[in-house]
Structure 1
């Protein structure tokens, strides 16, 4: 056994920052992050990334914060943002990523929920109006500067444990408030190791990341790249709205792997097919997640990028992802749905019926329960929701082991592969982001004159799904659709703002007295039909 391997055996990597900075020890001069300024590439090596993280940690270490104190990081994905999360990890400070586009009211709800000790934003950030009880600061290539010192902690912890929280990602919540998913160091490393076993990228890869920093897909990209000794290439969010600029960024950055929701490809396939095809000899991999990839678009992408391995990444924020399944090349003509395969190594997806009995017959739909070392610890401050999601293993309850009841439905084919059949609740995916329809409904119902509201999502072939809200008004109320749209955007991200608003005399009810969502979906479908 070599001295290096022996050292690793004696001091195993158990915390997030240790895992992501392995490259700083093995290949210190290699680019860890590539950022374009204009057309000039700017490289940050693994050594420089580690030094920046150490500099940030030194600034944070003198503040007297306790292990477990939360730190909100507002930024787009960048070398400095990665260094900031590494610094937090090294000090045992769970980080909560948000972006500059997060609406003020939503962000304040997050701050109120987690009671952070410190709020850090990237240089140039313009966030104001934070509570006086929260410390503030800024970070960038030149260092980390504290503007308002946080309150010092009590200093009763000494060492960061693998079971401690590493970060918290907020998703849409069924109660109408954002829900914080707490992930431990041990859980995220378990996921990273399962993912890296798939051989998706190698040390020479350049991984273009399109996900917003507050989305766990961004952390997937960072772990995939840095855990493989590769290079992270953050794609500026504004470019995704412009297909030509997006494709040219991929060309100029010499990206070899491109990750994101399926919708990032739609504009390029429609309007920049030739420019995209010109990259076909360089792009070797595409990983998508968050929503189904329309099969005609998959076929078009395979034609444009003939060397690319396309991987369907399926799962939830509560475990980052559960499976990585290669899309067949070519996609068979008779195929109607892509497989989600099997869970990644170290995890297992079980199908159970409503009574908790395993479903083994092909073609029979069941509830996906995930058994994995990468499961989240719980929902921040919500033990009831945690208990509904992390349930005793129905197949062996005496062990005390918990599994994650995902809320996803699926069936097996004759070979045992899984196929996603939708959700068992009101949760949907929009542009790769998880959305609880009840949170949209809550915001709409707060608008003056709205007595009741029901939100529905209608999938549209070869296009983004349509989010619509049907409202019932109070007697005599006046109503303005544009004002309601602006009201929603004050608190909700743009992907959660309804695209269509319909006023009804009364919301339709089913025989149980509940809003008849299928009837609303059918009505919306008729209205959007080209023959209407």
Structure 2
């Protein structure tokens, strides 16, 4: 078979992702590129498989600037496919297989994807009106019998590498266009996050989340080994076990997950060479606990600036605020007033980011792009733009930047960017609703939860369980409200506009939650314990023995907290067991009947 390997180049030159990977294929073909469980793929094999698939993609019409949607679960084939799309000159659009059909349909249509690459398990779950589908597990298609026929066309540094979608305030997600040069600058120019050949890089983030860009290409463009963590069902015990097994040199954790692992198993971080955390405001207490266990960076960066824009090296316990640091190489930030003039150090203004990491803009949204990507008067290079973040910040005396919240209603939930207006816009499309509001509520768990308030049309009966199911068909999991509250009328301010500050508290009393089953009290000590811990984690006054944890507003991160809280009182339940029956009765029956018990758990049976 004729090799399609791009010409290898020095890693310090402005180049493409594919050329950087090719460099390591050329110099170290037998080095491990990907590990997943017991499986290992070396750089030479990765390249050969990507070559085969790239040729097949080219035969299906993939050319430079062709969008290819990738709908695959975590695994080596996902990485092979992403590299193959780039080898064919196209760009990938990561699409989470768990997204509801309506969300998938929007992204496929908005991205103008010419092709969908998936597998047999997910092909039948795609929207009926999807673009042409290529199944990679169809071996006859994946490995052409007569070899490579149509050589792929390698991209240029200015060519698009990926298109990733974020929440949009109008109800329409925004596709962020990122080119090769932005990615290669991220992984090659910044010494603080320079992966060394042979380093182990943990891959934990979903590919629909831009942190995966650093994990995947930070490893493969630098000769590292990408270890795909198993995230099918993860609790702190499972995550900590994987950390101890793989001992990654590089690990990224969202703020919420970082807080939980420091709370319940901080010693696991002793096995990490460098930990990068960000996505929301960090707790100084937890940061102080992690200091000294690993090299620690607090990271900041919107999707529009290619993963990270700034880093803060935590070398000592912080004060009452953890700064978001100083810019990456090739990037700069400015704190400006409404007239786009720099504000003095210590004063709060809006954060603007400039440099090579700034994305091309929003796909198919020229007006929105012009609003957020402005000409950069601070750049020495003509034609450069700066990104208006909407974040408030202030420069510290040491040159680092402090984060001071948002200018709008955008929030971070479990590391994901959430436009509350998107949730409201989708709810308002429900035929039985006259209006909808949503807010992010800070909780005692150092995180935020989304509460949505629905106002039915007069005379319409709305069931919140049915409404949640309807919403789940249209929004990905990270945008789903933790609770839905029905209102007769929204509170208004003197100008007749919704006053979100006067909305009723969404949590505290179980009785205030609509459409729950009748309360059933626990009958045994174990049931009582489980109900009490669920109530503590959900921040409710009580939980019934037949109440579903997720129907009461639980989410994936809070479920991790619950399992660790139970473990601390001697009840061992795995994440998989919990998701299989998330009511106190189910969990009590599980603990009481399973044959393999810990000595502590046995006392509850």
Q: TM-score range by the shorter chain?
A: 0.7 to 0.9
3-state SS in 1 of match to 2:192: coil
**2:329 counterpart (318, 342, 345):** 345
| Match of residue 307 from structure 2 | 321
Unaligned runs of 5+ in 1: 1-5, 148-154
2-structure distance, mates of 1:301, 1:511: 48
1-structure distance, mates of 2:20, 2:496: 52
- Deviation per CA, 1:120-154: give whole Å up to 9, x if none: 1145334435455721112259686499xxxxxxx
Deviation at 1:368, TM superposition (A): 0.9
| Match of residue 151 from structure 1 | none
2-structure distance, mates of 1:102, 1:346: 35
Deviation at 1:253, TM superposition (A): 3.0
- Cα–Cα, structure 1 residues 31 and 481, in superposed 2: closer, same or farther, change >3 Å? same
2-structure distance, mates of 1:228, 1:183: 19
Q: Which moved further from structure 2: 347-356 or 173-182?
A: 173-182
Q: Which moved further from structure 2: 121-130 or 436-445?
A: 121-130
Say whether the 8 Å CA contact 1:350–1:368 is kept in structure 2.
yes
- Cα–Cα, structure 1 residues 221 and 330, in superposed 2: closer, same or farther, change >3 Å? same
| Match of residue 91 from structure 1 | 88
Deviation at 1:57, TM superposition (A): 0.9
| Match of residue 250 from structure 1 | 243
Alignment map for 1:282-431 (pairs within 5 Å): 282-302=271-291, 306-332=292-318, 335-362=319-346, 364-393=347-376, 399-431=382-414
2-structure distance, mates of 1:372, 1:262: 25
**2:231 counterpart (202, 227, 237):** 237
3-state SS in 2 of match to 1:214: coil
Deviation at 1:119, TM superposition (A): 0.5
Q: Does residue 159 of structure 2 align to residue 164 of structure 1? A: yes
Deviation at 1:301, TM superposition (A): 3.6
Per the normalisation by structure 2, the TM-score is: 0.76
2-structure distance, mates of 1:417, 1:380: 32
Aligned length: 503
Deviation at 1:185, TM superposition (A): 1.6
Q: Does residue 167 of structure 2 align to residue 181 of structure 1? A: no
Deviation at 1:55, TM superposition (A): 1.2
- Deviation per CA, 1:3-53: give whole Å up to 9, x if none: xxx9846995622211234321222211111101xxxx2111111111111
2-structure distance, mates of 1:123, 1:83: 17
- Deviation per CA, 1:181-209: give whole Å up to 9, x if none: 111122222232334x2145433321112
3-state SS in 1 of match to 2:136: strand
Q: Which moved further from structure 2: 463-472 or 322-331?
A: 322-331
3-state SS in 1 of match to 2:121: coil
Unaligned runs of 5+ in 2: 1-6, 145-150, 510-537, 543-605
Q: Which has the larger radius of gyration?
A: 2
Say whether the 8 Å CA contact 1:97–1:214 is kept in structure 2.
yes
1-structure distance, mates of 2:454, 2:143: 46
2-structure distance, mates of 1:125, 1:143: 19
| Match of residue 568 from structure 2 | none
- Deviation per CA, 1:413-443: give whole Å up to 9, x if none: 2222101111212211111111111111112
2-structure distance, mates of 1:310, 1:387: 36
Say whether the 8 Å CA contact 2:309–2:353 is kept in structure 1.
no
2-structure distance, mates of 1:252, 1:13: 36
1-structure distance, mates of 2:189, 2:327: 9
Alignment RMSD (CA, Å): 3.1
2-structure distance, mates of 1:229, 1:450: 54
Alignment map for 1:486-501 (pairs within 5 Å): 486-501=469-484
3-state SS in 1 of match to 2:104: helix
- Cα–Cα, structure 1 residues 93 and 146, in superposed 2: closer, same or farther, change >3 Å? farther
- Cα–Cα, structure 1 residues 268 and 401, in superposed 2: closer, same or farther, change >3 Å? closer
1-structure distance, mates of 2:337, 2:140: 54
Deviation at 1:503, TM superposition (A): 2.3
1-structure distance, mates of 2:502, 2:383: 42
2-structure distance, mates of 1:280, 1:322: 21
Deviation at 1:514, TM superposition (A): 3.0
| Match of residue 15 from structure 1 | 16
- Deviation per CA, 1:87-130: give whole Å up to 9, x if none: 11122211101121111110001111122111011453344354
2-structure distance, mates of 1:349, 1:382: 24
**1:73 counterpart (70, 74, 87):** 70
2-structure distance, mates of 1:454, 1:257: 40
Say whether the 8 Å CA contact 1:323–1:341 is kept in structure 2.
no
- Cα–Cα, structure 1 residues 203 and 143, in superposed 2: closer, same or farther, change >3 Å? farther
Per the normalisation by structure 1, the TM-score is: 0.86
- Cα–Cα, structure 1 residues 159 and 322, in superposed 2: closer, same or farther, change >3 Å? closer
1-structure distance, mates of 2:442, 2:138: 43
| Match of residue 219 from structure 1 | 213
Say whether the 8 Å CA contact 2:17–2:217 is kept in structure 1.
no
3-state SS in 2 of match to 1:477: coil
Say whether the 8 Å CA contact 1:52–1:80 is kept in structure 2.
no
Say whether the 8 Å CA contact 2:34–2:41 is kept in structure 1.
yes
- Deviation per CA, 1:215-259: give whole Å up to 9, x if none: 11111111222233211112222232x222222222333433321
2-structure distance, mates of 1:57, 1:96: 16
Alignment map for 1:79-118 (pairs within 5 Å): 79-118=76-115
**2:254 counterpart (234, 242, 261):** 261
- Cα–Cα, structure 1 residues 427 and 262, in superposed 2: closer, same or farther, change >3 Å? same
Query: Comparing both chains, which one has the higher relative contact order based on Cα–Cα distances under 8 Å and sequence gaps of 6 or more?
Result: 1
Say whether the 8 Å CA contact 1:168–1:181 is kept in structure 2.
yes
| Match of residue 57 from structure 1 | 54
| Match of residue 3 from structure 1 | none
